[in-house]
């Protein structure tokens, strides 16, 4: 029972866990820039000529200030918004209050923003309400967020819906977030609205929702959802969403588009996404560049990625740097990755530190690591603690460990609990375990269920088991009707399926299969092929192969070489070979040697050989005494 499991675990499923990203859009400062006039929006952002933009802004401020002093309400509102954007709250407030008093709803919204920044949230909400009632979508969004922060979800939904229905993208996103939190099916609709209007976090979250729903749908619908999810990941990633870039890379990698996947992983990794740096490391390792892989793993591990720390540990372990490997495995464990404990157990086991290995395996097994539970059970079994091993095998097998299911079958079989053993063999076989399929096939064959036996033996043979291929061939061979004897000059018959399976086993060095392939070749009249397989089996230690090769050589007139192979077979306990030797020496007149081999043949049997050998021995004894 081998302890199975990679020292580094990175599956395509569960590779990336969704978590809130504090660096993404959340709409918290929505009202600051979006609720004023078009002139304010035109001043937002940077331009290639920053000095020119700053000069233009100063000129615009001066122009607006003159217009505001002349009583222009719009100028007051825009001037207040511009000063608010610059962080000049004291300068902005009188202008915003004056414009608000004159009925400007954008000014009322921005006055709410200003008061919120000063810490007067309740007063800010009052002004947002005034602006929202007057039709400001941005104010309705800000008011909805205010109510949600205070736990008043009905009021929050009302105002966020008002904002969203007026086309406010942040309002649509905030409404979708609220509905999703409540488990409302309408969340996806508003998330889609926000995503379609360019909200990158909405695009990412919509992609995640579709991606997670796809596996639960029928195949055509699931494929459609996955394709749509990929499109939204791509849109969010193109707008700089690092987590979307991570998941997009994972989709592309799974599809085999490794080069493009690497580009997205690199984009996300440069933006600080540790899991993307880890995944990029694995791509580089698979491409043969372990040095570059180590650089990205180191970066990810330093950012707290346990998987990357495990990868570094495995890399150093392969180089024989066990102390460094152990240090990284411990870092992985400290980062919350239970694979670190499992890998520490493997490392200790390889060094013969059994007690420490058991300690680490137990730690990982108690945390639910199924392969650690299997390894712990193997360790206990090797130490003679069968009672202690069984529950850990059971736990690992119930948790889905294929190796543990097979090992549990072996354990039960050794205890004579054949029915229970068969159940676990079949469970492991259904998950693709080749040796378990072989054992299940043998058990079913023993029970007389040839149909089930054939199914399992085909699985074993198809999985590369030489013994499985041989036993399958034997089963098929027994069903064949006897064919006509081959006549000299007749065309060689085509190979049957059973012979193809015999050959597959023979090619893997299975001696009995090699002998059987030789016999089938001889039956077809293909002496050269028969001799080749007999010789391969004989040189590998098969006494039947040596005996049959001797027969073939004798028929071809090479009796001296035939005698050599018969001696090898007889010395390995082959009775018929010993009888052949007795006959050869009797015919040559070497009666004492013939009598010796006749005695040997009568000892080895089987019964019919023993009877013939006894008669020959008696005849030779009489001849010698005459």
pLDDT average, residue stretch 464-469: 96
Say yes or no to pLDDT of 492 above 70: no
**Lowest-pLDDT range of 18-27, 215-224, 280-289:** 18-27
Say yes or no to pLDDT of 351 above 50: yes
DSSP for 3-56, please give it: ----SS---SSSSS-----TTS---TTHHHHHSS-HHHHHH-S--S-HHHHHHH
Distance of CA 78 to CAs 43, 45, 87, Å? 11, 16, 14
Q: What's the confidence (pLDDT) of residue 439?
A: 96
Give helix 450-462 / helix 497-507 axis angle, nearest 10°. Answer: 40
Say yes or no to pLDDT of 457 above 70: yes
Q: What's the confidence (pLDDT) of residue 222?
A: 93
| Euclidean distance between CA atoms 434 and 463, whole angstroms | 6
| Euclidean distance between CA atoms 173 and 191, whole angstroms | 6
pLDDT average, residue stretch 519-534: 90
Residue 40 makes CB contacts below 8 A (sequence gap 6+) with: 33, 78, 81, 82, 85
Confidence (pTM): 0.74
- Is the Cβ–Cβ distance between 449 and 468 less than 8 Å? no
pLDDT average, residue stretch 132-137: 94
How far apart are the two ends of the chain, measured CA to CA in Å?
63
**Lowest-pLDDT range of 3-12, 48-57, 497-506, 589-598:** 3-12
Residue 232 makes CB contacts below 8 A (sequence gap 6+) with: 195, 203, 204, 206, 207, 210, 244
Name the helix (H) or strand (E) containing 218.
none
pLDDT average, residue stretch 458-476: 95
What are the two backbone dihedrals, phi and then psi, of residue 526, each rounded to the nearest 5 degrees?
-90, 85
Say yes or no to pLDDT of 16 above 90: no
Residue 582 makes CB contacts below 8 A (sequence gap 6+) with: 594, 595, 596, 597, 598, 600, 601, 613, 616, 617, 620
Task: Give the angle subtended at the CA of 333 by the CAs of 327 and 334, to the nearest 5°.
Answer: 90
DSSP for 360-419, please give it: HHHHHHHTT-HHHHHHHHHHHHHTT-HHHHHHHHHHHHHTT-HHHHHHHHHHHHHTT-HH
Say yes or no to pLDDT of 325 above 80: yes
- Token look-up 């508003």 returns 190
pLDDT average, residue stretch 342-346: 97
pLDDT classification of 356: cutoffs 50, 70, 90: very high
Nearest to 369 by CA among 30, 1, 9: 9
Nearest to 99 by CA among 67, 123, 145, 139: 67
Q: What's the confidence (pLDDT) of residue 51?
A: 56
With left for phi above 0 and alpha for psi between -120 and 50, is residue 496 left, alpha or beta? beta
- Token look-up 């493997």 returns 346
Q: What is the 3-state secondary structure (H, E, C) of 286-342?
A: HCCCHHHHHHHHHHHHHCCCHHHHHHHHHHHHHCCCHHHHHHHHHHHHHCCCCHHHH
| Euclidean distance between CA atoms 40 and 46, whole angstroms | 13
ω into residue 606 within 30 of 0, thus cis? Answer: yes
- Is the Cβ–Cβ distance between 116 and 124 less than 8 Å? yes
- Is the Cβ–Cβ distance between 392 and 374 less than 8 Å? yes
Q: What is the mean pLDDT of the chain?
A: 88
| Euclidean distance between CA atoms 166 and 164, whole angstroms | 5
Say yes or no to pLDDT of 406 above 90: yes
Q: Which long-range contacts (CB under 8 A, 24 or more apart) does 72-77 make?
A: 73/98, 73/99, 73/102, 73/103, 73/104, 74/37, 74/99, 74/104, 76/102, 76/104, 76/107, 77/36, 77/37, 77/104, 77/106, 77/107, 77/110
The structure tokens listed for 518 are 């030789």
pLDDT classification of 329: cutoffs 50, 70, 90: very high
Name the helix (H) or strand (E) containing 168.
none
pLDDT average, residue stretch 233-255: 97
Q: What's the confidence (pLDDT) of residue 27?
A: 32
């Amino acid at each position: 029972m081998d302890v199975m499991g990679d020292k580094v675990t990175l599956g395509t499923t569960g590779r990336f866990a969704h978590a809130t990203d504090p660096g993404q859009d959340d709409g918290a400062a929505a009202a600051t820039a979006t609720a004023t006039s078009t002139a304010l929006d035109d001043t937002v952002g940077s331009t290639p000529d920053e000095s020119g933009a700053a000069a233009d802004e100063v000129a615009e401020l001066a122009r607006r200030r003159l217009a505001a002093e002349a009583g222009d309400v719009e100028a007051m509102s825009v001037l207040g918004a511009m000063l608010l954007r610059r962080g000049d709250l004291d300068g902005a407030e009188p202008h915003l209050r004056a414009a608000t008093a004159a009925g400007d709803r954008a000014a009322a919204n921005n006055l709410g923003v200003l008061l919120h920044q000063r810490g007067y949230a309740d007063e800010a909400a009052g002004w947002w309400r005034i602006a929202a009632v007057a039709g400001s979508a941005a104010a309705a969004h800000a008011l909805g967020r205010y109510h949600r922060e205070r736990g008043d979800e009905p009021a929050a939904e009302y105002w966020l819906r008002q904002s969203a229905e007026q086309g406010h993208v942040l309002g649509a996103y905030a409404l979708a977030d609220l509905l999703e939190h409540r488990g409302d099916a309408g969340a996806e609709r508003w998330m889609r609205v926000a995503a379609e209007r360019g909200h990158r976090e909405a695009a990412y979250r919509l992609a995640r929702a579709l991606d997670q729903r796809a596996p639960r749908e029928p195949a055509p619908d699931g494929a459609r959802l996955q394709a749509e999810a990929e499109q939204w990941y791509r849109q969010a990633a193109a707008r700089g969403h690092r987590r979307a870039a991570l998941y997009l890379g994972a989709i592309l990698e799974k599809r085999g588009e490794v080069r493009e996947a690497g580009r997205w992983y690199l984009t996300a990794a440069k933006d600080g996404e540790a899991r993307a740096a880890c995944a990029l490391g694995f791509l580089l390792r698979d491409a043969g560049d372990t040095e570059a892989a180590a650089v990205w793993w180191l970066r990810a591990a330093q950012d707290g990625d346990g998987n990357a720390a495990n990868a570094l540990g495995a890399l150093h372990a392969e180089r024989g740097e066990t102390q460094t490997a152990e240090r990284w495995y411990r870092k992985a464990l400290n980062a919350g990755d239970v694979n670190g404990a499992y890998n520490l157990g493997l490392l200790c086991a390889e060094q013969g530190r059994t007690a420490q290995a058991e300690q680490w395996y137990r730690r990982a097994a108690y945390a639910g690591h199924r392969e650690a539970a299997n390894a712990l059970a193997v360790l206990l079994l090797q130490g003679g603690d069968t009672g202690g091993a069984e529950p850990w095998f059971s736990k690992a097998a119930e948790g889905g460990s294929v190796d543990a299911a097979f090992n549990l079958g072996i354990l039960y079989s050794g205890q004579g609990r054949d029915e229970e053993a068969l159940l676990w063999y079949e469970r492991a076989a259904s998950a693709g375990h080749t040796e378990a399929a072989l054992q299940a096939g043998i058990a079913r064959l023993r029970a007389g269920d040839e149909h089930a036996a054939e199914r399992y033996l085909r699985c074993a043979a198809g999985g590369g088991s030489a013994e499985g291929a041989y036993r399958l061939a034997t089963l098929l061979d027994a069903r064949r009707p006897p064919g006509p004897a081959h006549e000299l000059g007749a065309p060689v018959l085509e190979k049957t399926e059973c012979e193809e399976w015999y050959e597959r086993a023979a090619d893997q060095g299975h001696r009995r299969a090699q002998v059987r392939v030789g016999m089938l070749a001889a039956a077809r009249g293909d002496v050269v092929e028969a001799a080749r397989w007999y010789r391969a089996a004989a040189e590998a230690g098969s006494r039947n192969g040596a005996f049959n090769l001797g027969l073939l050589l004798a028929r071809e007139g090479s009796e001296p070489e035939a005698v050599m192979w018969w001696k090898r077979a007889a010395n390995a306990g082959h009775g018929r070979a010993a009888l052949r030797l007795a006959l050869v020496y009797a015919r040559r007149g070497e009666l004492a040697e013939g009598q010796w081999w006749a005695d040997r043949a009568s000892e080895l049997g089987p019964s019919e050989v023993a009877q013939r050998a006894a008669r020959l021995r008696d005849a030779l004894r009489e001849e010698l005494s005459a």
